[in-house]
Structures are given as structure tokens and as C-alpha cells.
Amino acid sequence: MTHRLLARPELGSLVGAIAIFVFFLVIADPFRQTSAMATVLYVSSTIGIMAVPVALLMIGGEFDLSAGVNVTASSLFAAMLSYQLSLNVWVGVLVSLVFALGIGFLNGFLVMTTKIPSFLVTLGTFLMLQGANIAITKQVSGQVATDNISDMDGFSSARRVFASSFEVGGVSIRVTVLWWLLFVVIGTWILLRTRFGNWIFAVGGNVDSARAVGVPVRQTKIALFMGVGLCAWFMGMHRLFAFNTVQSGEGVGNEFIYIIAAVIGGCLLTGGYGSAIGAAFGALIFGMTNQGIVYAGWEADWFKFFLGIMLLFATVLNMWVRRLAVRR
């Protein structure tokens, strides 16, 4: 039984999350307030929603470096389409879903067709999107941000879906926290309870074996890239309806935060092993550290430093736990 427990990929990140939680609880007074908890959860959810598909993709043996700028690209796409054509914002929202899935498909298609490692293919789409985001926004709106869409048709209903808040016991909780939980549950369900989940582990663990027993490798991997596109669209919509406008240079660097959350959560860099719940703990560790440093009154610039330490620590811990699990 202990053996089974040790073999769970998320164990290391759970222990890490508890340790960091206790640490900030002890050293930072403001961290103990429920409103601070709500902020931590919100920050974690903005990373966590993307960490789920990124973790699934990593388990499937691939990377997506364009994930961060794809969030910005889909929100820019929705904002400019709706504003320039004076459409109901829901039209922009839905067309941009097709756009984001298309980016995911393109990534997957190029990786599977050219056989070039996904690290390089998505580095290419990352640079292309990063450039196009700013260039097209400047061209269309004459500035580096999109026009404010808060007075347009459909804005308030879209905001309710993507960027509202609700009260629990006097504390305001952002709706993305609920969406995050939902995505983690769906991701876990897919991985452990569906045929597609079995295929994800197989194409990441040993692609040749998977192909030999009839797993549709190409479709599985393309679907995983499209999953990243889907969640990038969702986060893009959240940013758009939370801030009414989009800065075209945003999102760069976030792709690494998603990957770090997945790795802290126990995903193997080489594929074939990991979990969606672990990625959620990874995102929570990110959120707690991000806010905890501020609450503790430290220089915020130390955050990246601590993130690096945690990444190294988590990787070593996960390796150790896995070795313990495999030895019998």
C-alpha cells in the first residue's frame, strides 16, 4: 500500500506544497488571512489551468513553447475581431477558439509530419506568434494594446463566464479557481479513466511499442497539442474579460512557468510519466511562493530565484521518490 502511494507521481509535489504552505504561514503574518488565500488560489489558477494540458502533453512526450504567447494571441484575436467588425464579443470568443485550436493543430501536425523535435517546432511558432501579436496589434489599433471592449454587446455575460468573482464566507473568490478545479478533474479523468489517457502514457513512454500495438500515435499527439490550444484560448478569454484590453507583448516566458509547474508536479521531461493533479500542486507552489514573498515583505525580485531552487529541489525529490517506488 505504501508502495502504491510512493509510486504516485504527485506525491513529491504534495509534500512540497504542504512544506511551503507551512513555511509562509509561520513567517508571513498576512499570509494567514483568508483573503490572502483567495489571492494565492487566483494566481495559482492562472498558471494551473494551462499546467493541466501542458502536463498531459509532456506525459505524451512533447513540449509546447508557444503555449504562453498563444494565450495572448487568442485574446488579441477575439478582441480585435469583435472591436473592428463591431460584433457581439461572443462571436470573437468562438472564432478565436477555432484560431487557438488551429495553432495547436499546426504545432502537432508539424511535429508529426516533419519529425522535428517539438522543442524546435514550437520554438518556431512561439517566435512567429510573439512577433505577429505585436505587429498585427500595432497595425490594427495603432498602439501596442487592443481597444477597450467593455461597452460592447455580450461583454457582461462573457465576463461572468471567464472573469467573475463570487463570495464564500465573506471572501471573494475568482471564478477561474473553479474552472481550474474542473480542468484538473477532467485532465485526471482523461489520463486514468479513458482509452485516450492510456494512449497518452504509451506514446510518451515508448512510441514504437505504442505504434506496434495499434495506438494512433499521430492523432493522439495532435489532440494533445490542440488541448494546449483549447486551454490557451480559455486563459486568453479570462485575461481579455478581466482587463477589457490586451497588451500584445504579454505571455512571453509563461510557457516555462507551465512546464515548471508540470515538472514540479512529477512529470518526466522524457515523457510517459506524470499527473494532472501533480501539475495542480506545482501551480499551487508557484502561487504560494509568488504571493508569499510579497506577504513576507521580501524583495519581489527574489521570486524567480526561489522558483529555480524549487524546480531543482522538486526534480531531485521526484527522482528519489520514483527510484524508491521502482525498487522493491
Partner 1 sequence: MTLIEMSTVGKRYGNIVALHDISLRVNAGEITCVLGDNGAGKSTLIKIMSGLHQHDSGEMLVDGEPTRFGSPRAALDRGIATVYQDLAVVALMPVWRNFFLGSELRKGPFKVLDIDTMRATTRDELARMGINLRDVEQPIGQLSGGERQCVAIARAIHFGARVLILDEPTAALGVKQSGVVLKYVAAARDAGLGVVFITHNPHHAYLVGDHFILLNRGRMRLDRKRAEISLDDLTREMAGGDELTALTHELQRT
Considering only residues 167, 208, 299, 301, which one is a binding residue for partner 1 as defined by CB under 8 A? 208
186 touching partner 1, by CB under 8 A: no
Considering only residues 5, 85, 213, 300, which one is a binding residue for partner 1 as defined by CB under 8 A? 213
The piece of 87-95, 120-128, 135-143, 213-221 that touches partner 1 (CB under 8 A) is: 213-221
Report, in Å, the least distance between residue 182 CB and partner 1: 16
210 touching partner 1, by CB under 8 A: yes
Q: How far is CA 117 from the centre of its chain?
A: 21
263 touching partner 1, by CB under 8 A: no
218 touching partner 1, by CB under 8 A: no
The piece of 130-138, 171-179, 208-216, 239-247 that touches partner 1 (CB under 8 A) is: 208-216
212 touching partner 1, by CB under 8 A: yes
Nearer to partner 1, 208 or 299 (CB): 208
Considering only residues 88, 164, 165, 198, which one is a binding residue for partner 1 as defined by CB under 8 A? 198
- Are 21 and 228 a contacting pair, CB within 8 Å? no
Considering only residues 28, 65, 202, 267, which one is a binding residue for partner 1 as defined by CB under 8 A? 202
Footprint of partner 1 on this chain (CB under 8 A)? 4, 7, 193-195, 197-199, 201-202, 205-206, 208-216, 268, 272-273, 326, 328
